[in-house]
Amino acid sequence: MTLLLPTDWAAAWQAQVAAEHAQFDALADPQARPGADWWSSQAARFHSSARQSLQPDTFLASVLPAIQPGTRLLDVGAGTGRYAVPLARAGAVVTAVEPSDSMVHYLEQYVAEEQVQVQVVRDHWETADVPPADVVICAHVLYPIADGASFLQKLDQHTLHQCFLCLGFESPNVWLMPFWRAIYDVERLHLPGAIPALALLHQLGIDAQFTPIAPINTLHFADLEEALVDVRIRLCLQPDATRDERLRMLLRAHMQRDPDGGWRPIQPQRMVVISWTKHEQTALH
């Protein structure tokens, strides 16, 4: 008889991330890998998407009821300000933690253009030295973090009232699986998503809630060539005329045209909000 033991979600998370990273390292062309700032080639597109997106989207709509004028808010992995800026407009006192220099460049530009107050901390969450806040948000950051348990514990420790995570059921790059299959002839390993995150939170003793939300398709390309360049970067491929034509065919098969002429994946990422409340705290201002 085999004894069934409870899953150690912290270890399972770490193992899944390690396996995905190892597969990527084995497949990726070292000459085509991004530099130290992974997002340098994509920050401009993220910034454009943040500026053009209609807010509140379904994640921001989940957060806004927790915001009053003067609410102290931490945006962990703030990117180019997709949520930091509108939350500052709503009256929150926002601290944005973001490690990418290229993302911070556009974040500070966005803050200046919108004339809002956002304190920017250029650091990884794991090493960032910031005070706790009434509300903490973290959107699409957790997937590749090897020590997911410590990352989530620090979020909880810095939450005085409510914490909100936005995550997909799968990692954001799931739409690229057919591309990895076609180019490398492998089934690309997945990073952990929302369900393992919820299980890990409960293992840590954090009573989090799980609420599906309407998809937020943040992946948008101005044209097919911009999409091609992005796919090359994500798959660590150098330009090659024959292969690029094959990638264009795959893009046409797995993406759709928008009314504005842009392109986005046919299947938007299925998303959830994972949230929890510190009932013993009344720190909102």
Q: What is the Cα Rg of the chain in Å?
A: 19
Average confidence (pLDDT) over 139-153: 97
Give the per-residue pLDDT at 47.
64
Asked if residue 236 lies in contact with residue 32, where contact means CB atoms within 8 angstroms, the answer is: yes
Cross-strand bridge partners of residue 64: none
Tell me: pLDDT of 23 over 80.
Answer: yes
pLDDT-based confidence at 281, cuts 50/70/90?
Answer: very low
More confident residue, 262 or 16: 16
pLDDT in tens, 155-186: 999 999 999 999 999 888 888 999 999 999 99
Mode of pairing for the β-strands spanning 255-257 and 118-121: unpaired
Q: Which segment, 46-60, 75-89, 214-228, is predicted with the most confidence on average? A: 75-89
pLDDT averaged over every residue in the chain: 90
pLDDT-based confidence at 3, cuts 50/70/90?
Answer: very low
Give the per-residue pLDDT at 40.
61
pLDDT in tens, 187-233: 999 999 999 999 999 999 999 999 999 888 778 888 999 999 999 98
Give the per-residue pLDDT at 145.
96
> Domain residue spans in the chain?
9-222+269-277
pLDDT-based confidence at 36, cuts 50/70/90?
Answer: low
Instruction: Identify the CA nearest to 237 among candidates 32, 37, 38.
Output: 32
Instruction: Identify the CA nearest to 9 among candidates 168, 196, 209, 206.
Output: 196
Length of the chain: 285
Region of poorest pLDDT, from 47-51, 86-90, 116-120: 47-51
C-alpha distances in angstroms, 149 versus 17, 109, 171, 217?
Answer: 12, 33, 17, 27
Buried b (16+ CB within 10 A) or exposed e, 94-115: bbbbbbbebbbebbbebbeeee
Would you put residue 261 in left (φ > 0), alpha (ψ -120 to 50) or beta? left
What is the helix (H) or strand (E) element at residue 177, kind and residue range? helix 177-184
CATH architecture of the domain 9-222+269-277 equals: 3-Layer(aba) Sandwich (3.40)
Average confidence (pLDDT) over 24-31: 88
What is the helix (H) or strand (E) element at residue 252, kind and residue range? helix 241-254
Average confidence (pLDDT) over 253-264: 89
Give the per-residue pLDDT at 208.
97
Instruction: Identify the CA nearest to 191 among candidates 174, 209, 206.
Output: 174
Instruction: Identify the CA nearest to 225 among candidates 195, 262, 194.
Output: 262
